[in-house]
Amino acid sequence: MTAGPNQQAMIREAMESIAQRRPGRTRLVYDKTRRTIVAVSAADRSQRGLDITAEDAEMFV
Amino acid sequence: MWTLAQRERLALEHQMLHSQGMTQFSVFHESRDDSYYLFGTAQTNAGRSYDLYAPMPQGFPDQRPSLYVTKPNPLRMADGRALSDLGISHTMHTLSSATSGAIQICHWRDAQWHAAITLHRVMLKALLWLEAYEQHLATGRSIDAFVRTMGGST
């Protein structure tokens, strides 16, 4: 089973904001409420959760 | 046989997961064979769910725990093939699959692993891997291409 056209469109839409991020503009953070990774504006300090970037997490070292 | 220090560490890992808001993951003890494992269902931005399973090795925390995606199984690539067909894949950040076909996420290399790395950081990587996997499904690009994007954007 693979992702159907609708699923792919949904995934693509959900990922768009992450894919279009610019360096220094956004951060990946763990949203405790949604319990998933979200991209937020670097200026947005209202995020309450584990504020950690992929680099901070030593992602795939 | 687990030492008292290991048992205390595993209990602490469970508490830390929950205190960091990762209440979807828990460390469980299997009394039948006195084993420990982490299990939980992760949800991505797109709303899809994935079961994650990490049996704790006897050498934990000095030894790196393996981390598997047990559901969906098989996990498909964008072209419809099973991701497990690739086996160890640098571009997709996977290690040897389980005999069940469950994908093993490469979260840390053995040489880079050390006892100070906590399970909530492992699961954070798992969540990032799942987001990258869904980006792969949407675009057909390999996971390592998306990881570079994530790294360059933070």
CA distance B92 to B141: 10
Closest CA to B37 of B49, B52, B54: B54
pTM: 0.80
Chain segment B71-108, per-residue pLDDT in tens = 999 999 999 999 999 989 989 999 999 999 999 999 98
Asked whether residue B128 carries a pLDDT value surpassing 60, the answer given is yes
Contacts of B48 in chain A (CB under 8 A): 11
* Residues B68/B57, Cβ–Cβ less than 8 Å: no
**B5/A6: higher pLDDT:** B5
The CATH classification of domain B4-142, taken from the options 3.40.50.11890, 3.30.1490.190, 3.10.110.10, 3.40.50.300: 3.10.110.10
Quote the minimal CA–CA distance from B7 to chain A in Å. Answer: 25
State chain B's mean pLDDT as an integer: 91
Q: Which of B45, B79, B133 to mutate to test the interface with A (most CBs of A within 10 A)?
A: B45
What is the average pLDDT across A32-51?
66
Chain segment B24-53, per-residue pLDDT in tens = 999 999 999 999 999 999 999 889 999 999
**ipTM for this prediction:** 0.76
Task: Break chain B into its structural domains and give their ranges.
Answer: 4-142
